[in-house]
Amino acid sequence: MPEPFIKRYAPAGPTTASFHASPAFVRGLRGPIGSGKSVACSIDVVTRAQMQAPDTRNRRRTRWAIIRNTYGELRMTTMKTWHEWVPEDFGRKVNDAPFRHEIKADLPDGTLWDMEVWFIALDREDDVKKLLSLELTGAWVNEAREVPFAIVQALTGRVGRFPPKAEGGPSWRGIMMDTNPPDDQHWWYRKAELERPKGWEFFAQPAGDSPEAENIQNLDEGYYDRLVSANDQDWVNVYVKGNYGFVKHGEPVYPGYVDNLHCAKEPIEPVPELPLLIGGDPGLMPAIVLGQQLSDGRWLLVDELCADGFGIQRFRAAANAWLRQHYGAWLQGGRKITGWIDPAAGSRAAGDRDERATVDILREDSLIDWRSAPLPDNALAPRLESVRLPLSRLIDGKPGILISPKCERLRKGFNGGYHYRQIKTASGLMFQQEPVKNEFSHPHDALQYLMIGGGEYDQVLLRQRRHSGPRQSYAISEDYPDGQFIGNRGRQQYAEAED
- Dump pLDDT digits (tens) for 106-132: 999 999 999 999 999 987 767 777 888
Give the pLDDT of residue 14. Answer: 98
CA–CA distances in Å: residue 216 to residues 175, 198, 253, 331: 26, 33, 36, 58
pLDDT above 70 coverage of the chain, percent: 88
How many Å apart are CA 464 and CA 470, to the nearest integer? 10
Cβ proximity of 419 and 248 under 8 Å: yes
Listed residue (155, 132, 135) closest to 144, CA to CA = 155
Are 434 and 269 within 8 A, CB to CB? no
Looking at residue 463, its pLDDT comes to 67
Radius of gyration of the chain (CA): 25
Q: What is the pLDDT of residues 151-194, one digit of tens each?
A: 899 999 999 999 999 999 999 999 999 999 998 889 999 999 99
Whether 134 has a pLDDT exceeding 60, the answer reads: yes
CA atoms of 366 and 389, how far apart (whole Å): 31
Average pLDDT over residues 134-140: 97
pLDDT in the model for residue 140: 98
Confidence of residue 466 (pLDDT cuts 50, 70, 90): low
Q: What is the pLDDT of residue 64?
A: 98
Write b or e for each residue in 326-355: b if 16 or more Cβ atoms lie within 10 A of its Cβ, otherwise e.
Answer: ebeebeeeeeebbbbbbbebeeebeeeeee
Please tell me the predicted confidence (pLDDT) of residue 464. Answer: 64
So what's the pLDDT on residue 489?
Answer: 37
Res. 11: pLDDT tops 60? yes
Mean pLDDT in residue range 14-33: 98
pLDDT band (50, 70, 90) for residue 483: very low
Least confident of 14-18, 99-103, 414-418, 426-430: 426-430
Q: What is the pLDDT of residue 480?
A: 33
Return the bridge partners of 252, or none. 419
The mean pLDDT value for 311-331 works out to: 91
Checking if the pLDDT of 474 tops 80, the result is no
Task: Give the pLDDT of residue 282.
Answer: 86
Task: Say if residues 88 and 107 touch (Cβ distance below 8 Å).
Answer: no
H, E, C per residue of the chain: CCCCCCCCCCCCCHHHHHHHHCCCCEEEEECCCCCCHHHHHHHHHHHHHHCCCCCCCCEEEEEEEEEECCHHHHHHHHHHHHHHHCCCCCCEEECCCCEEEEEEEECCCCCEEEEEEEEEECCCHHHHHHHCCCCCCEEEECCHHHCCHHHHHHHCCCCCCCCCHHHCCCCCCEEEEEECCCCCCCHHHHHHHHHCCCCEEEEECCCCCCCCCCCHHHCCCCHHHHHHHHCCHHHHHHHCCCCCCCCCCCEECCCCCCHHHHECCCCCCCCCCCCCEEEEECCCCCEEEEEEECCCCCEEEEEEEECCCCCHHHHHHHHHHHHHHHHHHHHCCCCCEEEEECHHHHCECCCCCCCCEHHHHHHCCCCEEEEECCCCCCCHHHHHHHHHHHHCCEECCEECEEECCCCHHHHHHHHHHCEECEEEECCEEEECCCCCCCCCHHHHHHHHHHHHHCCHHHHHHHHHHHCCCCCCCCCCCCCCCCCCCCCHHHHHHHHHHHC
Sheet holding 299-306, edge to edge: 368-372, 337-341, 277-281, 287-293, 299-306, 401-403
Residue-wise pLDDT tens digits, 253-263:
999 999 999 99
d(CA 264, CA 268): 7
Residue 346's pLDDT band (boundaries 50, 70, 90)? low
Q: Which domains does the chain have, with CATH numbers?
A: 14-205 (3.40.50.300), 259-498 (3.30.420.280)
Measured torsion, CA atoms of residues 328, 373, 384, 268, in degrees rounded to the nearest 10? -10
pLDDT: is 57 or 499 the higher one? 57
Residue 299 binned pLDDT confidence (cut-offs 50, 70, 90)? very high
CB of 240 closer than 8 Å to CB of 224: yes
Q: What is the per-residue pLDDT for 261? A: 95
Is residue 51's pLDDT more than 50?
yes
Percentage of the chain beyond pLDDT 90 is 66
pLDDT, averaged across the chain: 87
Cβ-based neighbours of 483, under 8 Å, separated by 6 or more: none
Who's near 460: CB < 8 A, 6+ residues apart? 382, 385, 386, 389
* Pick from 7, 4, 45, 52: nearest CA to 27: 45
